Structure 1
Amino acid sequence: MNKRTVLRLCACAFALAATASAPLAFAQTYPQKSIRLIVPWPAGGATDSVGRSVAEALRVQLGQPVIVDNIAGAGGNIGTQQFVRQPHDGYTLLLATSSTNSANPYLYKRTGFDPIKDFAPVASLAVIPSVMVVAAGSPYKTPADIVNAAKARPGTLSFGSGGVGNSAHLAGELFKSVAGIDVIHVPYKGSSPALTDVMAGQLDYMLDTGAYGQVKGGKIRAIAVASERRHPMLPGVPTFEELGIKGMHMNAWYGLAAPAGTPPAVVERLNAAVQTAFKSGDLSKRLSDIGAEVRPGDAASFAAFWKSELERYAGLVKLTGASLD
């Protein structure tokens, strides 16, 4: 082997070593600038509250600004479509939700993204059970009252949601299916205006994840929780199961995601920041205050949960018959 060949082989070896070490070096210096967190829903409501809580926690842990960017539309698809086109460098993150990342692939013929291949799961954050709420002065005291009224006057009662395909919509459709009633779905551009109309009596009820604060404040009344056990924030409110209504289990899940191809070391750095924020107690308190049950965990466990929820929502959407195309 001549000297020129040896030098060429050495150069190739150095290049390969540099290429292999580049992601690690990048992760060790990450982040060096502000991070953008896309929340694919409007400002206000539970999803935005979760996003802003996580953004603040990451700011503290990473030492860089984390800017929330609300990009709403098409049930979260528009913001998510923009997200998957971003560079996979850890500087654009997504607040992934059960609506956008579990339900929409079955509700829409085209979402503009692959629910698995286009994402790098970073960390699970929380789940919030849906709670059935009515106006403070509503005549409906239990879900059975709503069922009886709906059967007496088919097609006249109405329920609201924060948009077609979101958790409140699917929860409402599930209740229609389980109860065998004919009621009208009224979609809004976000949960906040829908809840406002529940308070005013313009809507008969809503199954929402962002209503806990209004319930505690006495602005609306909770009559059932769609979970396996009573919610610690509303200990006096029974579950649907306790009231004899089977199959009403519905919650919204939230997690942090990066674009597919993000270096694993960056994903680990972000996950560590989330876990440290949970352990410090501040993030847990912020989420608990809005009715969330925190779900800390590593990226691998979140990826497994994400996949299982896709499978669960396939059955849920089929059961409700919901479709947006």
Structure 2
Amino acid sequence: MALASGHAAAQAEYPDKPIKLVVPYPPGSGTDTVARYAARRMEAALGKPVVIENKPGGNAIIAAQTVINAPADGYTLLWAANGPVTTNVALYDKLPYNPLTDLEPVARVAYSPMGLYVPADSPYKTASDLFADAKKRPNKLNYGSGSATYNIATEWLMSLVGAKANAISYKGSSPTLTDLAGKQVDFAIAEYSAGLPLVKGGKLRMLALTSDRRMKSEPEMPTLQELGYKEFFQVAWWGVFAPKGTPKPVVTRIESTLLTIFKDAETAQYLDQNNFSAFIGTAEQLRAFQKTEIERETKLVERFNIPKL
């Protein structure tokens, strides 16, 4: 009875100070954009400031370890995309943490498709043009990779195409696409939401989508599945994690707050306007999904002989 009362008190008192939301990618990325929207809504719901702290770099390992090493009290949370909580497990031989044992799942909230991009004046007018040249000239083209997730996605696609290209690593989609527009690399798979403004601004050309359906904002843009790569599907999804050992009542309070926010009409409108989609899941569902994704991505790395990091 005393333990139950203590848990109830912890939940009732939380939060009593600002909450830090650690984002593994730089400002301007889709991950950052949705995190800032969520932070604003969380502030209104919880009555305390929710501060974004961008910690890009190291394929999101820096951000993950920042949260893992923080006090397990619910005041430092990880706004995670695929990379730090699933993809890194598949891609690293010696990952310095275990996302299944070092982090508590809180909630899954949304996803963004990815786009296949080239510079606006690239000779590649279609995805087929790019693939044909990549096949004809193995390892002569460079692609930008904003995280481990994009690395796996691009290597998977190149394997399906029967081509090889060189990865150039970046700290998220935004710097990847900036360099792509400047012709520092030849092509990139990156967040749809981050690339679309550059397409509209005449700096990039989009060749295809990585999702299983077209987007309302670009209804003429085909998916890679439509172009013949039936099994190819990769999106950037987002969820929130807390340090291992965070009290269950605190996790439940954050979980219920996020699920309420991402189920309401205001958020539905926001997601639609910004080319995102709701992808809602409880803490339990997030953990099950995380395990499934780790297994799927590990098999992809093995199947296509993607080099370990």
What is the TM-score of this pair, normalised by structure 2? 0.92
Identity of counterpart residues, as a percentage? 38
Query: In the alignment, does 2:73 pair up with 1:89?
Result: yes
Query: Rg bigger for which structure?
Result: 1
Where do residues 54-73 of structure 1 align in structure 2 (5 Å cutoff)?
54-73=38-57
Distance in 2 separating the partners of 1:121 and 1:102? 12
Partner of 2:153: 171
In the TM superposition, what whole-angstrom CA distance separates every residue of 1:49-105 from its partner, at most 9, and x where no partner exists?
222222222112111111111122321112211211222211111112211111111
The C-alpha deviation readout for 1:4-50, integer Å capped at 9, x for no partner, is xxxxxxxxxxxxx4344212101012111100111122333222222
- Per the alignment, in what secondary structure is the counterpart of residue 243 of structure 1? coil
1:138-287 pair list within 5 angstroms: 138-163=122-147, 165=148, 167-209=149-191, 210-287=194-271
Q: Which residue of 2 aligns with 1:8?
A: none
| Secondary structure, counterpart of 1:28 in structure 2 | helix
Secondary structure of the 1:116 match is helix
1:98 to 82, 85, 96: 82
Unaligned stretches of 5+ residues in structure 1? 1-16
For 2:77, give the aligned amino acid. Answer: L
SS in 1 for 2:208: strand
**Contact 2:155 2:306 (C-alpha < 8 Å) held by counterparts:** yes
Given that 2:109 and 2:259 are in contact with CA atoms closer than 8 Å, whether structure 1 keeps it comes out as no
Paired residues of 2:271 and 2:277 also in contact (CA < 8 A) = yes
Distance in 1 of aligned mates of 2:219 and 2:6:
52
Instruction: Summarize deviations over 1:124-170 as a string: whole Å, max 9, x none.
Output: 0112222111222222122111111122322222211214x2x2222
For the aligned residue pairs, the C-alpha RMSD in angstroms reads 1.9
2:21 aligned residue: 37
Structure 1 residue 316: deviation in Å? 1.9
Residue 217 of structure 1 deviates from its aligned partner by 4.1
One-letter amino acid of the counterpart of residue 112, structure 1: P
Deviation at 1:193, TM superposition (A): 2.1
**Any conservation in 2 of the 1:103–1:317 contact (CA below 8 Å)?**
no
Query: Could you say which residue in structure 2 is the equivalent of 1:10?
Result: none
Amino acid at match of 1:97: A
Is the CA contact (8 Å cut-off) linking 1:174 and 1:319 kept in structure 2?
no
Tell me, in whole angstroms, the C-alpha distance in 2 between the residues paired with 1:153 and 1:112: 36
Give the 5 Å matches for 1:311-322.
311-322=295-306
- In structure 2, the gaps of 5 or more residues are none
1:5 maps to none
CA contact (8 A) 1:57 1:283 kept: no
SS in 1 for 2:280: coil
**8 Å Cα contact 1:34/1:67 also seen in 2:** yes
TM-fit CA distance, 1:216: 4.0
Q: Is the aligned partner of 1:107 residue 2:83?
A: no
Query: Match for residue 277 of structure 2?
Result: 293
Structure 1 residue 208, shift from structure 2 partner: 0.8
Task: State the alpha-carbon separation in 1 of the partners of residues 238 and 304 from structure 2.
Answer: 22
- Aligned partners of 1:161 and 1:168 also within 8 Å: yes
